[in-house]
Structure 1
């Protein structure tokens, strides 16, 4: 009887793991589909924006808007690197766009957190976990943009390192996330056709469904059995969490995906904001690898300088704000608490910060 009971328990665990894998796949699929739909909306518009800027402040907000539209800082930075390599953009004009891309990329995990909106405690934890990424990027820009504007510090440091890599050929990294989800994304796009609104709606429905189911399974499976594994091994300390974020983002080539992955874990209460913060910093550094590889392909020194400027912007931001990590954590927690008062507030936050303000600044100062 006891053997039969143990067999049933093991079978249930295996079934729950398979469920989790399925919902994780649907989650990754929905994020890639959402990115593909946004690209149909805004890739040409983003390219047009990027190629026509000379004002650093406008460049910063172009980076935010372009990346919010195409949902990928890797795409924006690779686009910028290509334009610098082709002589369309100067290094001084490109660096503020890269800074803005860092802010724009955090819109994805903030959208992901909205799936928890109807469950107050889950939403408070998941919204704080997603917006801590926003606030770190905003604070880093707040300090480093004026320094870059007046001294070109990032350009100087990046130039020094880039010269060592000038004649190194580029390489492409294997992207496992795209490999497993792209066939399904392409098939659905072929079936739906050139209708970005429909693709976006489908992606959001799948995203919210997958997240809801993931949190349910995680509560049963992970909290009981693997919480210790996350808490004591992967996220044991800040350095380890940072390295997990960096390595996962290097492999996935998307900080949007890796930062979005921890949102349901925060919602389920598996990870705390203090554990997630260094993880997001690691993801920020990991996402710069794609642009560095793209720059090496061009063989253009200025393109390599821009890619390294992206890397050093993130490193300098970490050096400045890691000792004051309580500031972005406090801001994220406060915003999450405030957002519980009215379900409209988080939507307004996303629309105003990532779309309305950047567009207004671009139109006013262009």
Structure 2
């Protein structure tokens, strides 16, 4: 891919963004058609916030892309999924995405000291995201904090689509020809199958487009991203968080950003503690994908789609502000990850048990318990 001409890669990137926006519209329209406006009843099992959290977490751990899952959630909200169900799903996606850099750390398993450092660096992200859920999920259940804050942001940035004053939308103008062509083919089917066909096509397209967007962005920006990383380390928390945000926006993947740092720590180039703020910035930077996805939504649920994208943004910003901003909580994620890494370095099987247990066994056991 590096050998491809740069103008061609930029053109391909633009086409992939268009494909992603088309996919989001397809999923939203298909979801609405398939459920016949009964999305709430369909997801009644996920009305328990813990179920929503687990769905988002396991889906992201399996796909290994919070960008994909968050974009799908935006599309489902546009199709009628209640936002109260979607909020915990977004939180779960944050935990699920942590699995990628934890798996990357296993590449150092042959060297005890390197493995300890790499596992320490990887699991800081895990513990931070788990603490964020422990703090903000109860606040959301009790007070609807994120839903209220995101609603305020929507009132500021709303396009007026819900009021029926929908003006020219360049995203809709670009995606409509493709959506209309696919809809023309699928409308020959019964409503449920019509909707399912569009959802399946949309899911395939969104996974494909976001995967290739990440690859193209990496080929275009990874050198710049590494330069930003090296310049930011050791320059303070604000610099680290800002740089982590910028790098993640550049490469369109928080997993890529955090995984870039694991080998650096494993090889002793930087310390796990020094990359902590950079990791937090990655959480904020990954919100850009859901916000872009929300731009493709028009119609009565456009503001709700934008709201769930803002939920993702508010959640990550507040998590950084609270956990890193409060001195007595700030050191918990790095301390716990360090203690865990010492045990895993001694008994490597604990590392595998940790990944399988935290990301799959515990969530699935919780599903059985809640059900």
TM-score under structure 1 normalisation? 0.70
Deviations 1:86-122 (A, max 9, x none): 11x1000000000000000000000000010111111
Q: Secondary structure at the match of 1:273?
A: coil
Structure 1 window deviating more from structure 2 (229-238 vs 98-107): it is 229-238
Aligned pairs for 1:207-226 within 5 A: none
Give the structure 2 partner of residue 314 of structure 1.
Answer: 316
Are residue 361 (structure 1) and residue 360 (structure 2) matched? no
Aligned pairs for 1:275-290 within 5 A: 275-290=274-289
Match 1:83 to one of 58, 65, 76: 76
Give, in angstroms, the shift of residue 360 of structure 1. Answer: 1.5
Give the structure 1 partner of residue 141 of structure 2.
Answer: 149
Aligned pairs for 1:113-132 within 5 A: 113-132=105-124
CA distance in 1, matches of 2:63, 2:153: 30
Q: Aligned pair in 2 of structure 1 residues 233, 353: CA closer, same or farther (>3 Å)? A: closer
Unaligned runs of 5+ in 1: 1-17, 19-46, 183-225
Structure 1 window deviating more from structure 2 (61-70 vs 315-324): it is 315-324
Cα RMSD (Å) of the superposition?
A: 2.8
Aligned pairs for 1:60-139 within 5 A: 60-87=53-80, 89-139=81-131
Structure 1 window deviating more from structure 2 (232-241 vs 346-355): it is 232-241
Give the structure 1 partner of residue 252 of structure 2.
Answer: 253
Answer yes or no: is the 8 Å Cα contact 2:229–2:243 preserved in 1: no
Give the structure 2 partner of residue 211 of structure 1.
Answer: none
Q: Aligned pair in 2 of structure 1 residues 161, 316: CA closer, same or farther (>3 Å)? A: same
Give, in angstroms, the shift of residue 329 of structure 1. Answer: 0.6
Q: Aligned pair in 2 of structure 1 residues 114, 77: CA closer, same or farther (>3 Å)? A: same
Answer yes or no: is the 8 Å Cα contact 2:214–2:253 preserved in 1: no
CA distance in 2, matches of 1:359, 1:176: 31
CA distance in 2, matches of 1:170, 1:134: 38
CA distance in 2, matches of 1:347, 1:260: 18
Q: Secondary structure at the match of 1:297?
A: coil
Q: Secondary structure at the match of 1:281?
A: helix
Give the structure 1 partner of residue 223 of structure 2.
Answer: none
Answer yes or no: is the 8 Å Cα contact 2:241–2:279 preserved in 1: yes
Deviations 1:102-160 (A, max 9, x none): 00000000000001011111111110100000000000100110000110000000000
CA distance in 1, matches of 2:289, 2:139: 25
Q: Aligned pair in 2 of structure 1 residues 233, 147: CA closer, same or farther (>3 Å)? A: closer
CA distance in 2, matches of 1:62, 1:364: 14
Give the structure 1 partner of residue 350 of structure 2.
Answer: 345
Answer yes or no: is the 8 Å Cα contact 1:84–1:303 preserved in 2: yes
Unaligned runs of 5+ in 2: 3-30, 32-39, 161-168, 175-208, 220-225
CA distance in 1, matches of 2:353, 2:141: 30
Answer yes or no: is the 8 Å Cα contact 2:232–2:240 preserved in 1: no
CA distance in 2, matches of 1:140, 1:287: 16
CA distance in 1, matches of 2:238, 2:170: 29
Match 1:179 to one of 216, 223, 239: 216
Q: How many residues align?
A: 275
Q: Secondary structure at the match of 1:275?
A: coil
CA distance in 2, matches of 1:96, 1:72: 17
CA distance in 2, matches of 1:180, 1:252: 5
Give, in angstroms, the shift of residue 55 of structure 1. Answer: 1.4
Give, in angstroms, the shift of residue 341 of structure 1. Answer: 2.0
CA distance in 2, matches of 1:241, 1:134: 18
CA distance in 2, matches of 1:297, 1:234: 36
Give, in angstroms, the shift of residue 309 of structure 1. Answer: 0.6
Q: Aligned pair in 2 of structure 1 residues 74, 337: CA closer, same or farther (>3 Å)? A: same
Deviations 1:233-285 (A, max 9, x none): 54422211111210111111110111000000001111112211100100000
CA distance in 2, matches of 1:268, 1:104: 26
Give, in angstroms, the shift of residue 230 of structure 1. Answer: 6.2
Q: Aligned pair in 2 of structure 1 residues 266, 170: CA closer, same or farther (>3 Å)? A: farther
